[in-house]
Amino acid sequence: MSNIVAIVGRPNVGKSTFFNRLIQRREAIVDAVSGVTRDRHYGKSDWNGKEFSLIDTGGYVKGSDDVFEAEIDKQVVLAIEEADAIIFMVDVETGVTGMDEDVAKLLRKVTKPVFLVVNKVDNGKRAEDAVEFYSLGLGEYFTVASINGSGTGDLLDALVEALPEQEEEEEEDALPRFAVVGRPNAGKSSFINALIGEERYIVTDIAGTTRDSIDTRYNRFGFEFNLVDTAGIRRKSKVKEDLEFYSVMRSVRAIEHSDVCIIVLDATRGFDGQVQNIFWLAERNRKGIVVLVNKWDLVEKETNSAKEFERQIRREMEPFTDVPIVFISVLNKQRIFKAIETAVEVYKNRSKKIKTSVLNEVMLPIIESYPPPAYKAKFVKIKFITQLPTPQPQFAFFCNLPQYVKDSYKRFLENKLREHFDFNGVPVSVYMRKK
């Protein structure tokens, strides 16, 4: 579980550059492995061993200048409601603007930690100019230069210091948690209603561990789990429901709190940008994933259209393509049960533990037949494999020269693990350790 930090401010103050710099910390390494670079507005970051989710609100403001102001106000209000801490970014080159003052006015009332960050301060003269931002009435400020990262260390020290401690999840309720996520109007609410709806076979309604998502205990057909519903949460009069940013904030929280993410997508829209972002976030958080293609009844069918559609989705998912895709129609109650069955399977795969003896018996002969390529005339010898004691599948391969094992070979090992042990729907991590 990690805290959520939102970066707010008017356009062109450098929010995205700053955001990219922060998530680079670990993401760059992860990205190099998966070969994924997408236009994205949220990610994971950590500092001094404290993890947090970071949201760049700048990526969600669309429209002309006159629309901007209203949109930015909306975003700031949302960020204030949803995030655990807020970074308010301003630009030393332009000085204090009317829009900055508007944002500051909203932030002055906030009880959460707010960090005023003056960007583009890369010399002494500019550091002096930054003094005028005291006029925003938010107290002390931090000066940074996103472009080269100067000043970010001090800011991050203060930020992680101020983040609230996350309570550990209570163990007593050890039921699996399934989050139903996806873009607005994909059919999330209808899917949940089709599951629990009219018959209401619910044992209890328990308020979720987050202050906003509602957990529903589901107990039918021999399955028992908690459904984390992001769809039907507190409709806010202040906020237009269709605001993309809003649904993203909700999804981030729900994903963090779940074991398996059930991603509902609208067949008429396909596996588009926002769905890819949600998929990417679930994968980054190492959650189990099931993709439900809803409204399949509305799509014009050719002989092999389901297969073709599925192929297309898997292309977008690369390299993590070992994910179950179920075609459903919530309206006609088609394959709803199959969807839940699949989610339960994925949950079992995610918590699967493989005996060390079995792991070595299966994997060592494969490694012997296809050893890692030699590097600078040095040969890598993998001697022993074990599964790490983590909530999701992670494997350590002990060898003499871990630094010479390339990502492509780690992917080969991951594929072999999948082939032999069925980790369908679950991200698998492979680590090389020094023997």
Q: Is 230 annotated as a binding residue?
A: yes
Q: Is 120 annotated as a binding residue?
A: yes
Q: Is 58 annotated as a binding residue?
A: yes
DSSP secondary structure letter of residue 13: S
Q: Is 3 annotated as a binding residue?
A: no
User: Cα separation of 210 and 355, whole Å?
Assistant: 35
Q: Is 11 annotated as a binding residue?
A: yes
Q: Is 353 annotated as a binding residue?
A: no
Q: Is 197 annotated as a binding residue?
A: no
Beta-carbon contacts of 56 under 8 Å, excluding residues fewer than 6 positions away, are 7, 15, 16, 19, 41, 42
H helix or E strand, kind and range, residue 216: strand 214-220
User: Cα separation of 74 and 82, whole Å?
Assistant: 12
Q: Is 121 annotated as a binding residue?
A: yes
Place of tokens 């429209």: 63
The Cα-based distances of 282 to 6, 13, 357, 373, 425 in angstroms read: 19, 29, 31, 32, 11
Q: Is 296 annotated as a binding residue?
A: yes
Q: Is 44 annotated as a binding residue?
A: no
Q: Is 56 annotated as a binding residue?
A: yes
Peptide bond into 319 cis (omega under 30): yes
Q: Is 14 annotated as a binding residue?
A: yes
User: Cα separation of 151 and 156, whole Å?
Assistant: 9
Strand order in the sheet with 382-387: 382-387, 394-399, 429-434
CB neighbourhood size of 337 (10 A): 15
Q: Is 60 annotated as a binding residue?
A: yes
Q: Is 151 annotated as a binding residue?
A: no
Q: Is 186 annotated as a binding residue?
A: yes
Q: Is 184 annotated as a binding residue?
A: yes
Q: Is 270 annotated as a binding residue?
A: no
Q: Is 15 annotated as a binding residue?
A: yes
Q: Is 33 annotated as a binding residue?
A: no
Query: Which residues does the annotation place in the binding site for GTP?
Result: 9-16, 56-60, 119-122, 182-189, 229-233, 294-297
Query: Which residues does the annotation place in the binding site?
Result: 9-16, 56-60, 119-122, 182-189, 229-233, 294-297
